[in-house]
């Protein structure tokens, strides 16, 4: 029987990981199955563009995986039992249990509501494609009149507010945040950001704590209301609850606790990457939930899976977060470089040049993910026998 590898999720971490494994492991030895709720690879980094009204290219996973030997199961993962090594999935036809020998968990993240009342019922978000699509339909209903309040002064809030304001200039867009908008940026980058907000007519409410959302708008600081026809919730990402309920060791925020090589610390046949993994970067701090981190962690996770299964030494992939590339609508952007401690440097690329960098990043990441095996084959390694593998994992 072939060694069964299941990859949960086909986002930036999962799709590329599956391709890498198909390229490096011998198909006579392994059977690779990807489980994805969505039949397409979803470019999450462009979902604010979708919400603002742009069309995104469809990238069907069947086409991406064609000729690779990777089996695709379009289904929703509802549970994982890490002790019994089973995954429960459901699709239009019913519920099924899949067994694995090796699992790579890359289910990503969703919008974090932080327990604020009314968010689920009244706010929109851009954390996944259906949500971004719903926001787009609501904005279409508004036409060119109405108020939009974006909650969150970090990357996603900034990208959503600027994209909506630029694409729909008739709307009155505001951003509310408990801290400072783009507070982590260096001085030059932050000044550029504030100028962009000014140019796009986005009102800013800083040091403003949102304690409720309803049909009238956003309730702040225990009393006043910022009126809004549409509230966009962009106050961070949260993990899916599946890992925490699976028996895997997880962090307080539900991310899977992994070692430097992306193995679960409680179940070494389980690996995690992307937003789902609590990975510590080379600077000793947790990597932020980001596409950049997903690329770093999935490179390490796949190298480790290949090493563990073939008995080869696993090399350490760099876990170094380079910085944030933030779009400010379609014609402006910022690339804030960070130092080894993830602190913003005073220098940042701004305007047209940063827009080009951002476009190149989006294109490259999507090309890499969309061509997961770079057109097989590479040097596909044979697996070591089970007992040798087990002994190696214990020794590591």
CB of 265 to ligand FAD, least distance (A): 19
Looking at 9-17, 165-173, 249-257, 309-317, which segment touches ligand FAD (CB under 6 A)? 9-17
- With CB under 6 A as the contact rule, the residue among 3, 76, 134, 195 that binds ligand FAD is 76
CA atoms of 226 and 148, how far apart (whole Å): 10
Tell me the residue number closest to ligand FAD, measured at CB.
11
CB of 54 to ligand FAD, least distance (A): 12
Give the C-alpha distances (Å, rounded to integers) separating 130 from 97, 167, 189, 316: 26, 20, 32, 37
Site string for ligand FAD, 87-126 (x = CB under 6 A): -------------------xxx-----------------x
- With CB under 6 A as the contact rule, the residue among 30, 72, 77, 87 that binds ligand FAD is 77
On whether the CB atoms of residues 40 and 58 are closer than 8 A, the answer is yes
- With CB under 6 A as the contact rule, the residue among 290, 302, 344, 355 that binds ligand FAD is 290
Q: Which of 272, 391, 389 is nearest to 3 (CA)?
A: 389
Let me know how many helices (H) and strands (E) the chain has, helices first: 10, 23
Give the count of beta carbons closer than 10 Å to the beta carbon of residue 268: 17
Residue 60 β-bridge partners: 40
Looking at 203-211, 254-262, 286-294, 302-310, which segment touches ligand FAD (CB under 6 A)? 286-294
Residues touching ligand FAD, count (CB under 6 A) = 34
CB of 304 to ligand FAD, least distance (A): 17
Q: Is 236 in the site for ligand FAD (CB under 6 A)?
A: no
CB of 72 to ligand FAD, least distance (A): 11
- With CB under 6 A as the contact rule, the residue among 45, 189, 258, 301 that binds ligand FAD is 45
Give the C-alpha distances (Å, rounded to integers) separating 219 from 119, 146, 164, 178, 353: 11, 18, 22, 12, 38
Q: Is 330 exposed, middle or buried (0-12, 13-18, 19+ CB in 10 A)?
A: middle
Comparison of 25 and 80: residue with beta carbon closer to ligand FAD: 80
Comparison of 338 and 383: residue with beta carbon closer to ligand FAD: 338
Comparison of 34 and 220: residue with beta carbon closer to ligand FAD: 34
- What DSSP string describes 244-270? TTTTS-B-TTSPEEB-TTSBBSS-TTE
> Which residues make Cβ contacts (< 8 Å) with residue 114, sequence separation at least 6?
235, 236
CB of 44 to ligand FAD, least distance (A): 3
CB of 366 to ligand FAD, least distance (A): 11
- With CB under 6 A as the contact rule, the residue among 44, 136, 263, 392 that binds ligand FAD is 44
CB of 385 to ligand FAD, least distance (A): 32
CB of 218 to ligand FAD, least distance (A): 19
On whether the CB atoms of residues 350 and 324 are closer than 8 A, the answer is no
Radius of gyration, alpha carbons of the chain = 22
CA atoms of 270 and 287, how far apart (whole Å): 19
> Which residues make Cβ contacts (< 8 Å) with residue 334, sequence separation at least 6?
185, 189, 192, 193, 324, 325, 326, 328, 348, 349, 350, 354
Q: Is 181 in the site for ligand FAD (CB under 6 A)?
A: no
Reduced to 3 states, what is the DSSP secondary structure of residue 175?
strand
CA atoms of 371 and 345, how far apart (whole Å): 34
Q: Is 35 in the site for ligand FAD (CB under 6 A)?
A: yes
Query: What does the binding site for ligand FAD look like in residue numbers (CB under 6 A)?
Result: 9-14, 35-38, 44-45, 47-48, 76-77, 106-108, 126-127, 155-156, 159, 240, 274-276, 289-292, 294, 325
């Amino acid at each position: 029987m072939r060694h069964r590898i299941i990859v949960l999720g086909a986002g930036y971490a999962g799709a590329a990981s599956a391709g890498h494994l198909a390229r490096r492991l011998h198909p006579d030895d392994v059977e690779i199955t990807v489980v994805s709720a969505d039949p397409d690879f979803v470019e999450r980094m462009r979902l604010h563009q979708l919400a603002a009204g742009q069309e995104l290219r469809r990238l069907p996973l069947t086409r991406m995986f064609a000729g690779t030997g990777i089996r695709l199961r379009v289904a929703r993962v509802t549970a994982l039992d890490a002790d019994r090594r089973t995954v429960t999935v459901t699709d239009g036809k019913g519920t099924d249990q899949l067994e694995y020998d090796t699992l790579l968990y890359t289910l990503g993240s969703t919008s974090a509501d932080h327990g604020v009342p009314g968010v689920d019922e009244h706010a929109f978000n851009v954390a996944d494609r259906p949500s971004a699509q719903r926001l787009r339909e609501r904005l279409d209903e508004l036409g060119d009149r109405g108020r939009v309040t974006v909650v969150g002064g970090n990357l996603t809030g900034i990208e959503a507010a600027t994209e909506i304001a630029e694409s729909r200039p008739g709307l009155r867009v505001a951003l509310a945040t408990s801290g400072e908008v783009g507070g982590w940026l260096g001085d030059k980058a932050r000044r550029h950001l504030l100028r962009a907000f000014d140019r796009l007519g986005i009102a800013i409410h800083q040091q403003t704590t949102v304690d409720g959302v309803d049909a009238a708008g956003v309730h702040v600081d225990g009393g006043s209301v910022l009126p809004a026809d549409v509230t966009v919730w962009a106050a961070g990402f949260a993990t899916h609850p599946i890992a925490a309920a699976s028996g895997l060791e997880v962090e307080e925020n539900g991310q899977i606790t992994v070692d430097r090589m992306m193995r679960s610390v409680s179940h070494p046949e389980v690996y995690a990457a992307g937003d789902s993994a609590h990975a510590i970067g080379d600077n000793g701090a947790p990597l932020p939930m980001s596409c950049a981190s997903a690329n770093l962690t999935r490179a390490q996770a796949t190298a480790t899976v290949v090493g563990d299964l073939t008995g080869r030494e696993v090399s350490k992939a760099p876990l170094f977060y380079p910085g944030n590339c933030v779009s400010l609508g379609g014609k402006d952007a910022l690339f804030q470089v960070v130092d080894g401690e993830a602190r913003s440097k005073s220098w940042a690329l701004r305007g047209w040049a940063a827009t080009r960098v951002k476009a190149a990043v989006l294109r490259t990441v999507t090309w890499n993910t969309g061509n997961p095996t770079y057109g097989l084959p590479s040097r596909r390694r044979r697996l070591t026998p089970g007992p040798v593998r087990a002994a190696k994992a214990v020794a590591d």
